[in-house]
Amino acid sequence: MIKPHGSEDLLPRLASAERAAALRAEAERLPSLVVSSAAAANAVMLASGYFTPLPGYMSLDEARSVADEMKLLSGLFWPVPVLNVVRASDLPEGLEIGGRLALRDPNVEGAPLLAVMKVESIDTLDDDTREHITERVYGTTDREHPGVKTFAEAGDRVLGGTVDVLGTSYFGDEFPDTFRTAGQIRDAIEKLGWQRVVAFQTRNPMHRAHEALCKMAMEAVSADGVLIHMLLGKLKPGDIPAAVRDAAIRELVDGYFPAGSVMIAGYGFDMLYAGPREALLHAVFRQNAGCTHLIVGRDHAGVGSYYGAFDAQEIFETLPAGALEIQIFAADHTAYSKKLGKVVMLRDAVDHDKSDFVFLSGTKVRDMLSAGEDLPPEFSRPEVSAILKAHYSKA
């Protein structure tokens, strides 16, 4: 099986039951901090092994190195800073470098203990540094960009250091059939005997174009199976909730994929909408989960018009040899061809013009569903359309 990123073995930061009990006892004597949703999601990703080989949150120096060179201070490739940013006014009194800190979960009622952190650095994030990191990672400093807005409002102190995480926040409880750690996915792949595995990243319900894209990629790389890997964390307002996406994806897979060819799973991360940089991070996640290939499509991990259609593919071409072991399947936009009676990639339909395809914008899809209309069968499987229509009728 493909090795984890930068390590011979997966390195999850989830404490054992015995260690967790000791940490809970210790945390009663420690200063505590309710972290941001983004920092909590980073803790869950550390716990789940997706951030292998990171031991915890980055210092500001490490974050600058990642932003500027896509390298940790050790020289290992890493595309996006993994931070715990807080407001100075929220820091517990007397917290010092070398101290221990209880991190509490903002996404669960009562803010229970999520992790214990050894604070190895406390850095001030000034406006110039924030703007620089933002520009390098997101390619824009526009506060209308949802990821930029989140980072801009996070705070002015960066706490770096190793963490021991006690759980996976709300993800395991709310999505018991879907949330999986990187180690659990690796174990499942090994049990299935899959050697070549394609990963499909999604934060949306899957329509027929996505279905066809997964099948095209599997055939192109001779994969044994596909991991449909959905983001379960926070999204921007208006995006489809995770539970609805989960139900729609399962309905699609059950009805339209060969039995035994698909693994459905989810991971606990808040979407960054960072386009090319986030596509690289998605590749790290999937390599750590044991996948050999990642589908990178049009405007992968993008939002609005901040990124070019294929920027997320082109950034992989800039990486030095050996930066990642996982390979990408670079996909064009896919749509239903009325000429051919099936979904095709636009680059493979050179004799078509726009009128030969069934295209629906996101706005049009939402308008139709909100009006109680079924989506065209060329665009969406009827079972998926029904689930989405029911969701919008309650919205």
Distance between CA 282 and CA 270 in Å, rounded? 12
CB 311 within 8 A of CB 276: yes
Q: The domain containing residue 122 runs over which residues?
A: 17-169
Find out whether 288 and 47 touch, Cβ atoms under 8 Å.
no
Q: How confident is the model at residue 206 (pLDDT cuts 50, 70, 90)?
A: very high
DSSP per-residue letters across 145-197: SHHHHHHHTS-SEEEEEEEEE---TTHHHH-TTTB--HHHHHHHHHHHT-SSE
In a domain, 8, yes or no: no
Is 5 a member of any domain?
no
Share of the chain above pLDDT 70, in %: 100
With 80 as the cut, is the pLDDT of residue 104 above it? yes
Measured in Å, how far apart are the chain's first and last C-alpha atoms?
44
Supply 12's token pair. Answer: 């999850």
Bond prior to 205 in cis (omega within 30° of 0): no
The span from the CA of 248 to the CA of 295, in Å, is 20
CATH code, 40:
3.10.400.10
Residues 282 and 368 grouped into a single domain? yes
DSSP 219: H
CA distance 25 to 39: 23
d(C-alpha 84, C-alpha 159), whole Å: 6
Could you tell me if 260 and 377 lie in one domain?
A: yes
| Catalytic residue selected from 100, 204, 250, 366 | 204
pLDDT of residue 37: 97
Domain limit, last residue, from 145, 169, 193: 169
- Do 338 and 312 share a domain, yes or no? yes
Quickly state the pLDDT bin for 395 (edges 50, 70, 90).
low
Whether the CB-CB separation of 1 and 8 falls below 8 Å is answered with no
> Which of 250-254, 362-366, 374-378 is the least confident region?
362-366
SS3 93: coil
196 and 311 share one domain: yes
| Res 350: pLDDT | 84
pLDDT at position 364 over 90? no
Question: Catalytic: 204?
Answer: yes
Pick the catalytic residue from 104, 136, 203, 286: 203
pLDDT digits (tens, 9 = 90+) for 271-324: 999 999 999 999 999 999 999 999 999 999 999 999 999 999 999 999 999 999
Q: Which of 216-220, 233-237, 311-315 has the lowest mean pLDDT?
A: 233-237
Please write the tens of the pLDDT for every residue from 130-152. Answer: 999 999 999 999 999 999 999 99
**Span 201-220, average pLDDT:** 95
Counting residues of the chain whose pLDDT is more than 90, the rounded percentage is: 88
pLDDT at 356: 87
Q: Is the pLDDT of residue 210 over 90?
A: yes
Is there a contact between 47 and 14 (Cβ–Cβ < 8 Å)? yes
Sorting pLDDT into bands at 50, 70 and 90, what band is 77? very high
- Both 280 and 380 in one domain: the answer is yes
Q: How confident is the model at residue 349 (pLDDT cuts 50, 70, 90)?
A: confident
pTM over 0.75: yes
DSSP structure string for 338-375? TTTTEEEEGGG-TT--GGGEE---HHHHHHHHHTTPPP
- Domain final position from 123, 153, 169: 169
Using left for φ > 0, alpha for ψ between -120 and 50, and beta otherwise, residue 94 falls in left
CATH assignment of the domain containing 293: 3.40.50.620
Judgement on whether residues 97 and 193 belong to the same structural domain of the protein: no
Do residues 56 and 188 both lie within one domain? no
* Residue 223, pLDDT above cutoff 70: yes
- What band does 235 get if pLDDT is binned at 50, 70 and 90? confident
> Which of residues 127, 143, 169 is at a domain's end?
169
- pLDDT of residue 361 exceeding 90: no
Neighbouring CB atoms inside 10 A of 243's CB total 13
Q: Hey, how many other C-beta atoms are within 10 angstroms of the C-beta on 354?
A: 8
Q: Is residue 30's pLDDT more than 80?
A: yes
Q: Give the mean pLDDT of the chain.
A: 95
Cα–Cα distance, 289 to 182 (Å, whole number):
4
Residue 85's beta-bridge partner residues?
158
Whether the predicted pLDDT of 18 surpasses 70: yes
In a domain, 10, yes or no: no
The verdict on 149 and 185 lying in the same domain is no
* Same-domain status, 160 and 191: no
